[in-house]
Amino acid sequence: MNNTTETPVTVIGLGLMGQALAGAFLRAGHPTTVWNRTTSKAEKLVAEGALLAPTVADALAASPLTITCLTDYQAIHELLDASDVELDGTMLINLTSGDSAQAREAARWAEQRGARYLDGAIMAVPPAIRSAAAVILHSGQESDFEAHRSTLDALGTVTYLGADHGLASLYDMAGLTMMWSVLNAWLHGTAMLRTAGVDAAAFAPFAQQIAAGVAEWLPGYAEQIDSGSFPAEVSALETDARAMAHLVEESEAVGVNAELPKLIKAMADRSIAAGHGGEQYPVLIEEFGKPRDI
């Protein structure tokens, strides 16, 4: 007999991430029901104490809280739009990745079918689940988040962002653009140094210091952006643009890909042409804030 007082949870979708989520609930003592299209992926969890629901409908009915973690939102709809799936009265937390429009649409869809719905974004890889390094963002009704916060705590560092269901996805996207921009800058710098026989490992600690130093600037730069005032306290954009020209020239001279520095310089040039050359770097927010395709 199970004497646990922890909230029962259902996890639908047992890919790499869904298995990690279900495993975390089990280890935290939550009676855990699972369902996956490919049943074999549930075997390890069942051996650890999970209950395998025979159908999606049974999985939803088994717990007051259901977590979905599928490939994409199309899969969510394909699975839960089936006529025998009853969402009325369920609490869904969808941790599938997607964009903010998909999250808002899914919230409307779930609520029309009588479900309560929180959207979420996982900013971590499966092995990090259960550790503080696993940042999991949520948006939707705050009362729904608070009602399930102690259950969600089993997964990592859970955060509530606001009532707009699209916020978790938007933060996820903002995090991804940071991650890939930093990595691409490091790869470009590494490619230049390799032309002089410098190993990636030699540049990595230096690059870490630069990344940490730039991170220190963010709160002050954020104040400039939020106030809409960009006094050149340490450097003017036109000074940066001269260094960008050197970066383009160096990239071409040593024969590496110059697309990234050219993109950076083109944005600065447009901002200078618009009269912002004497202001500080974050004035480029105006360039980033308007649509433009490559």
Per-residue string for binding with ligand FVH, 3-32, x by CB under 6 A? ----------xxxxxx--------------
Q: Are 20 and 39 in contact (CB under 8 A)?
A: no
Which residue of this chain has its Cβ atom nearest to ligand FVH in the complex?
Answer: 15
Binding-site member from 52, 57, 61, 75 for ligand FVH (CB under 6 A): 75
Q: Which of 61, 20, 56 is nearest to 37 (CA)?
A: 56
Q: Which of residues 32-71 bind ligand FVH (CB under 6 A)?
A: 36-38, 41, 69-71
Strand order from edge to edge, sheet including 51-52: 51-52, 32-35, 9-12, 65-68, 91-94, 116-123, 135-139, 157-162
93 DSSP β-pair partners: 67, 118
69/207 with CB nearer ligand FVH: 69
Q: Are 193 and 251 in contact (CB under 8 A)?
A: no
Number of residues that bind ligand FVH (CB under 6 A): 22
- Classify residue 67 as exposed, middle or buried by CB count within 10 Å of its CB (0-12, 13-18, 19+): buried
115 vs 87: CA distance, rounded Å: 5
**Helix intervals (H) in 94-199:** 100-112, 142-152, 167-194
Binding-site member from 45, 122, 134, 284 for ligand FVH (CB under 6 A): 122
36/251 with CB nearer ligand FVH: 36
Q: Which of 17, 206, 32, 204 is nearest to 94 (CA)?
A: 17
Min dist CB 135 to ligand FVH, Å, is: 10
17/161 with CB nearer ligand FVH: 17
63/94 with CB nearer ligand FVH: 94
For residue 96, state whether it binds ligand FVH (rule: CB under 6 A): yes
Min dist CB 259 to ligand FVH, Å, is: 27
279 vs 237: CA distance, rounded Å: 6
101/222 with CB nearer ligand FVH: 101
Min dist CB 134 to ligand FVH, Å, is: 10
17/236 with CB nearer ligand FVH: 17
Min dist CB 72 to ligand FVH, Å, is: 6
Q: Which residues form the interface with ligand FVH (CB under 6 A)?
A: 13-18, 36-38, 41, 69-72, 75, 78-79, 96-97, 122, 125-126
